Amino acid sequence: MRVGVLTGGGDCPGLNAVIRAVVRKGIEVHGWEILGFRSGWQGPLTGESKPLGLDDVEEILTRGGTILGSSRTNPYKVDGGVDKIKSVLAEQGVDALIAIGGEDTLGVAKKLTDDGVGVVGVPKTIDNDLGATDYTFGFDTAVHIATESIDRLRTTAESHHRALVVEVMGRHAGWIALHSGLAGGANVILVPERPFSVDKVVSWVERRFERQYAPIIVVAEGALPEGGAEVLQSGEKDAFGHVRLGGIGTWLADEIAARTGKESRAVVLGHTQRGGTPTAYDRVLATRFGLNAVDAVADGDFGVMVALRGTDIVRVKLAEATAELKTVPASRYEEAEVFFG
C-alpha cells in the first residue's frame, strides 16, 4: 500500500512530528510506502512528491515548520483541480492521503472524500479554532512564545512608564490572546468574539497608570472596536477568500496615546508565534495524532479527522470538524475580566 501525506495552510510547530509518526508507523508496522506531497494541495495537483523513508524523518521531531513545505492552494479554485488530483494519485499509485491542516485544508479534504478520494485529516492550527477537537497541536507553542514575549515586554514597559499593546494572531478566534494574556498577566485582553469599547480600554489603562504600573494590552489581530471594522494589511484575498489582517495593535496604541496623553507603543508578534521548536506538549500531541491517523487509514476509515477528547484520541467526521469554528465563549472571557485594569 502507498500512502500520501501533505501539510497545508499556515505552518506551525509540530507538523514534522506528525510526518515522523506517519512514516515510522506506516513503514515499521504496516510495511507501507509513504509519499510526501510538497506544498500542501499543490503537490497532488502537480505531482510534486518524494518518497519518505525512516532516514528522512530521523532528525525532524524538534524542527519547526514542515519538511514538505506548505501553501494555501485550493484545488476547488483550479479548473479541473479534482480530476488532476485523482489522475496524479492514480499515476503515482497512492491509495490514501493523510492531510495535515486547519479549517481550509481539511475543508478540501472533506470535499475530496465526498468526491471519492480516501482522505484522513489531522488537525493543525496555532489558533486552536477547529471544531470537534479539544486542542490542536501548534497552539501550545504559540501561547508559550506569546507569553514569553509579554514577559519580556513588561520589563521595558515598566522602565519607561509606557503602555504596550501586543498584537497576536487570531483572525476569528481569540484563544491565543486569551491564554497568553492570562499567563502573561495582561491588564486588558481583546478578542474577535467580543467587540471592545475604546473608552473602557482607556479606563483600564488609566487605572493601571494610577497605580504606578505600566499597562500591557493583548489584542488579537481580528479584534474589532465597537462600531468599527477589521484592520487590513491588504484587501487582497487568498484562494480561500481570506484577507490579510494586521494593524489593530498600532491603531489602538495611537488611540490610547491620544486619549491618555501617555506614551503608548505597539508590538506585532506576527509569524514568530508559529516558528521555532515545538513544545513537549505539541510534540507528543502531534505524534499521537500521526499514529492514530495511520490506524484510520489501515482500517479504511476515510472522511474522518483524528481529534483530542479529554486525554483520548478519537475519530470524528471531517464534516463535523469543519462545520464551524471553535471560538472563545463569553463565559471564558468574563472569567478573565476580573484581572483587567
- pLDDT value, residue 210: 87
Q: Which long-range contacts (CB under 8 A, 24 or more apart) does 82-88 make?
A: 82/112, 82/115, 84/44, 84/45, 85/41, 85/44, 85/45, 85/112, 85/117, 86/115, 86/116, 86/117, 88/44, 88/45, 88/46, 88/47
When pLDDT is averaged across residues 33-53 and rounded to a whole number, the result is: 97
Q: What is the pLDDT of residues 151-197, one digit of tens each?
A: 999 988 888 788 999 999 998 999 999 999 999 999 999 999 999 99
Binding-site members for substrate are 125-127, 162, 169-171, 221, 265, 271-274
Q: Which long-range contacts (CB under 8 A, 24 or more apart) does 155-159 make?
A: 157/214, 157/215, 157/216, 158/213, 158/214
Amino acid in the structure at residue 33:
E
Q: What is the pLDDT of residues 56-76, one digit of tens each?
A: 999 999 999 999 999 989 999
Binding-site members for Mg(2+) are 103
Q: What is the pLDDT of residues 71-117, one digit of tens each?
A: 989 999 999 999 999 999 999 999 999 999 999 999 999 999 999 99
Q: Which of 11, 104, 127, 129 is catalytic?
A: 127
Residue 240 has pLDDT above 60, yes or no: no
- pLDDT value, residue 241: 47
Report percent pLDDT > 90 for the chain.
83
Helix axes of 198-210 and 248-260: crossing angle, nearest 10 degrees: 60
Residue 124 has pLDDT above 90, yes or no: yes
- pLDDT value, residue 338: 86
C-alpha closest to that of 306 among 134, 71, 92 = 134
Binding-site members for diphosphate are 10
Domains plus CATH for the chain?
2-137+278-322 (3.40.50.450), 139-275 (3.40.50.460)
- Between 165 and 236, the more confident residue is 165
When pLDDT is averaged across residues 202-231 and rounded to a whole number, the result is: 87
- pLDDT value, residue 39: 96
Residue 43 has pLDDT above 70, yes or no: yes
Reply yes or no on whether 134 is catalytic.
no
When pLDDT is averaged across residues 189-211 and rounded to a whole number, the result is: 93
Q: What is the pLDDT of residues 286-340, one digit of tens each?
A: 999 999 999 999 999 999 999 999 999 999 999 999 998 999 999 999 998 888 9
Binding-site members are 10, 103, 125-127, 162, 169-171, 221, 265, 271-274
